[in-house]
Amino acid sequence: MAVQKPDGTQDMLPNEALFWDHFKSTAWDIFSRYGYQPIETPLFEQTDLFVRGIGESTDVVSKEMFQTISGNNMAKLASYAIDHHDELAQLPTSEDRAQQMVSGALKNKSRLSMRPEGTAGTVRAIAQHGLITQGGAPVKLMYAGPMFRAERPQKGRQRQFNQVGVECLGAEDASIDAEGIIMLMRFYREIGIPVQSTRLLLNSIGCASCRPAYRKALKDYLLAHADFLCDDCVRRADINPLRAFDCKNPECQKVMEHAPRITDYLCDDCRAHYHAVTSYLDAQGITYSEDPTLVRGLDYYTRTVFEIQVDNGMGSQNAIGGGGRYDGLMKEIGGTACPGFGFALGYERCALALSAVGIEPKESPKSDLYVACVDAVEKPLAFNLVQALRDAGISADMDHQDRSLKSQFKQAGKMGVRLTVVIGPDEVAAGVVKLRDMSDHSERDLALDATMNYLGDHADAHDLSVEDLLA
Ligand code: HAM
């Protein structure tokens, strides 16, 4: 069997690739009206960025990162393993040994990982290029591209998937959170996901001053119920108790139903910020559900967190987008402290939600015109004509496989072209080409020289359409 694509990845065939383009252009169109500008960051970054930014104990960083090792560094790892064999053998698990080898053998700069999300890289780029200026307006950036997470593949969950995301750095005001959420909901509406089939969940997870007391209360609660929790949740009690809300184990979920809620621990500032966000949303008629158990799986969030879910057509992976505020992230990765807010939406899950309402990628457009030759001797003329047509703005093609005239007509029919041009010895002798309108099979002759001149006049403007040839 021919080599297959890796598990958890998807080929985007032409219709799908065009659908993805439509997605991106719709997003750009809307987001740019809110002042967002595009940015492209590398597909891989120093592993340390994600460890510091997203958080070492998150599933994304601790279990799902694709770490990349170049050939040269592989050799360094092998040498390290040989030189430190006894030391490594003392470590309890093979994960610990692998970790020690990577950190012992490779400098920070050489420890690289494929990006699992776009926020950390974008914030890194903003810091590195000094895009935030004292007293300047917030920096608003948008991106689209593949992200990589080594998760167990299932419907709506891939190892390489595509996100469109935005990040706004430099503004703490709740109006930024609200306009971001409104902008995302507008995108879903414009792309065709009915608002009534979406569920917008909203929460505040507090800040550096109020969250520690909540974490402590939650930790105490988890430890008090340790007998009813899975091992992961018991471990989470110490490292990251908020994660226990995301556990899929039904027993754990039952315990979490009665767990302390962050809403009871918010400080006055966080409470006021949350209230301001909801007031802006209310004023704009945005429907949302307040969900005090929504914590999200990335450690950088502070205050506002939100997620958009859809049920129809989705399976268990029903979040089509999410985001929130991250006022501590810039400082965490070594930049000057600066508040931030952003979100990302998953293209593949949105495509599932669209399919559930009957919106599928459209057939990719075919050529408008086919140039058929009676004999091979007319081929150079056909070749020049096809180039001139394309230069003038008309999509055109010809035979490249030495087919008979009959097969060329068949090919033109399959391609669904509007017009076919026929060039044969009689036409060449008369200095014309035959233009056939495929809708009614009517034919007319076009003077070849005049046609070439006409196309040549439009070569730089390339603004012609097939209709112009019929006129
Ligand atoms: P996230 O919730 O991890 O947030 O991902 C955003 C969206 O990406 C999800 O809602 C989902 O639609 C899609 N997604 C995530 N993982 C997968 C997967 N394995 N397969 C298919 N789709 C997936 C973030 O990534 C944050 N960076 C969002 C953000 C930006 N927060 C602030 N700024």
Quick check: CB of 115 below 6 Å from ligand 1? no
Residues of the chain with pLDDT under 50: none
Quick check: CB of 320 below 6 Å from ligand 1? yes
In angstroms, the CA 400 to CA 371 distance is 11
Q: What is the CA radius of gyration of the chain?
A: 29
Residues 266-294: tens digit of each pLDDT: 999 999 999 999 999 999 999 999 999 99
Q: Which of 61, 169, 348, 349 to mutate to test the pocket of ligand 1 (most atoms within 8 A of CB)?
A: 349
From the CA of 307, give the closest atom in ligand 1. Answer: 10
Residues 46-59: tens digit of each pLDDT: 999 999 999 998 99
Quick check: CB of 158 below 6 Å from ligand 1? yes
Quick check: CB of 325 below 6 Å from ligand 1? no
Quick check: CB of 340 below 6 Å from ligand 1? no
pTM: 0.94
Question: C-alpha 249: how far from its chain's center?
Answer: 29
Atom 13 (ligand 1) nearest CA: 346
Quick check: CB of 179 below 6 Å from ligand 1? no
13 C-alpha vs ligand 1 centroid, how far in Å?
23
Atom 11 (ligand 1) nearest CA: 346
Residues 328-368: tens digit of each pLDDT: 999 999 999 999 999 999 999 999 999 999 999 998 878 99
Q: Are 357 and 194 in contact (CB under 8 A)?
A: yes
In angstroms, the CA 195 to CA 199 distance is 8
In the 3-class helix/strand/coil scheme, how is 145-169 assigned residue by residue? Answer: EEEECCCCCECCECCEEEEEEEEEE
Pull the structure tokens for residue 364: 């990719």
